[in-house]
Amino acid sequence: MATNIDKDGVVNCKLSHVTYSTLMIFLRKLQPITKLSARIMSGRSLSLSPPLPAAKRRKLDDDWLTPDDFKNGVFLAPMVRSGSLPTRLFALKHGATLVWGPEIVDKAILHSTRDVDPITGVISYNGVSRAIFSTHPVEKPFLIYQIGSSDPDLAVQAAKTVMQDVSGVDLNCGCPKPFSTHSGMGAALLTNPDLLCAILTALRKEMPPHITVTAKIRLLPSQEDTLKLVERIVNTGISALTVHCRTRNMREKDKAVIERLREIVDFVRGMGRGIAVVENGDCKDWEDAKRVRQTTGADSVMIARGAESNPSCFSPTPLVDVEKTFIPSYLHLSQYIRNHFSLTKYCVNQFTGKRVEVTKTESQCIRQALSKAKDFESLKELMGSRSGEEELRDIIKAIQENSPRKHRMILEPDSSTLTDTETAEDLSLSTPEGTQNPEPPGPGAPFLPNDIEKLAAMIPARDNTTPTPISARPQALTLT
């Protein structure tokens, strides 16, 4: 090794080729020890299992969504609580083309801290006492992050906060719940089209081109007003538009008026921008999605209640006997990725499906055990011996081997055209009995914007945080 001192007094060292090679070998051997020390110092438990498989490296452009990726698909709708990370992962495993996360209010995510779990790979945006939003790298190419906002600048800041972990952002323009509308967000934007379009324009202008910008709206009472609003929204440069085929004032048991969507689809196609129109409302599963597309002509279909009941509904052959074929797996995965138990329990209590081998009595016993459970440990007998790590490995493998974006619903060329004897009413789907609309109108839904202040005064004081009631994250799990 040769050394010299330059005119500024800086010591320069030149390593011989042999010395340099020896140093590199030493550093490579030291690296695993350094990582192990960091793991120990962080207080995390050590796993003797091999690491989870990393996502296959692809060209960057392959991960970018385009308007065509929103066509011929069946999507998981954004749902508060029910759209949590475990549900999204299982939906992708069973064939969902794309998945939407639950609506997150812009201000909530801005004050969060991004944390990566070195064992599971889960990425959490944590607030003071809870996780605001959680995701996993394997879902990134298929994940749309939904924003609740009534301010263009805040919407852009919120989108930039999470853009490294998602493929697109969606503006919620249809939620009729008071927590959204009293702040001018959600369905309140339908009667303030200038603000709605300003937010979308700002998002499209400020976000990098590989992050798609989309919007989800509800129908306006007047079809003419709906078309005018749709035209303005499409002209903001969005990649897709989802239409929940209910108006803001329609109640949870009201049948979605999906027959109104065909005129909207034809109108958007006539604009010549290649924008996908996605139908949402009264679709239960993959087979129902075919009927909805035939009725409406929509490019894709979004499922909410059907997925809330059975996340495998995106498969042409959804799981039956979910008490034994699905619920144990869901519990194992939720425990492993540290999904809060109360949120997990809420989702599991919604799961239903066709029973083939499970008797009604067995189902009732399982439901009773779930209702009494206070934590994952109290459900060990129901969960069985399979581990959450195995569940996550299977999901990653399934997604890598059969990309959800290749799971397309290609209809026959003339299948979107009604015959002379068919009408939209014949093919429309009614709201399944005994289910709840994932976006039920709250008591303030009928009010117009000039009543917002009156409505806000009726609601207890609260800050703009995520509607998902997730409490503090549990302690780290110890793998044995």
Kindly report the CATH number assigned to the domain that includes residue 162: 3.20.20.70
Which pLDDT belongs to residue 180? 83
Considering the domain architecture, whether residues 120 and 245 belong to the same structural domain is answered as yes
Is 83 a member of any domain? Answer: yes
pLDDT at 83: 95
Q: Is residue 435 part of a domain?
A: no
Task: Supply the pLDDT for residue 473.
Answer: 39
Domain membership flag for residue 57 = no
**pLDDT at position 266, please?**
98
Average pLDDT, the chain: 81
pLDDT digits (tens, 9 = 90+) for 226-279: 999 999 999 999 999 999 999 999 977 889 999 999 999 999 999 999 999 999
Q: What does the pLDDT read at residue 329?
A: 96
Same domain, 145 and 191: yes
Most confident of 1-5, 261-265, 457-461: 261-265
Same domain, 72 and 219: yes
**Do residues 225 and 255 both lie within one domain?**
yes
Do 335 and 315 have their domain in common? no
Q: Determine if residue 54 is left, alpha or beta; phi over 0 gives left, psi from -120 to 50 gives alpha, anything else beta.
A: beta
Last residue of a domain, which of 401, 419, 434?
A: 401
Number of domains in the chain: 3
* Residue 436 falls inside a structural domain: no
Length of the chain: 480
Is residue 215 situated within a structural domain?
yes
pLDDT single digits (tens) 49-102: 455 554 444 444 557 899 999 999 999 999 999 999 999 999 999 999 999 999
Residues 279 and 201 in one domain: yes
Please report, rounded to a whole number, the percentage of residues in the chain having pLDDT higher than 90. Answer: 66
179 and 234 in one domain?
A: yes
> C-alpha 364: how far from its chain's center?
30
Query: Does residue 294 share a domain with residue 177?
Result: yes
Domain end position, chosen among 320, 352, 371 = 320
Which of the following is catalytic: 173, 175, 313, 347? 175
On whether both 200 and 337 belong to a single domain, the answer is no
In a domain, 46, yes or no: no
Same domain membership, residue 144 and residue 239:
yes
Q: What is the pLDDT of residue 439?
A: 43
Q: pLDDT tens for residues 358-407? A: 999 999 999 999 999 999 999 998 998 889 999 999 999 999 999 998 89
Are 143 and 289 part of one and the same domain? yes
Q: Span 335-363, mean pLDDT?
A: 95
Neighbouring CB atoms inside 10 A of 443's CB total 11
**Is 175 annotated as catalytic?**
yes
Q: Which residue type sits at 308?
A: E
The per-residue pLDDT for 456 is: 41
pLDDT of 123 above 90: yes
pLDDT(289) > 90: yes
Q: Is residue 447 part of a domain?
A: no
| Residue numbers of the domain that contains 91 | 62-320
From 288, 320, 352, the end of a domain falls on 320
Evaluate whether residue 267 is within a structural domain: yes
Q: Same structural domain for residues 160 and 300?
A: yes
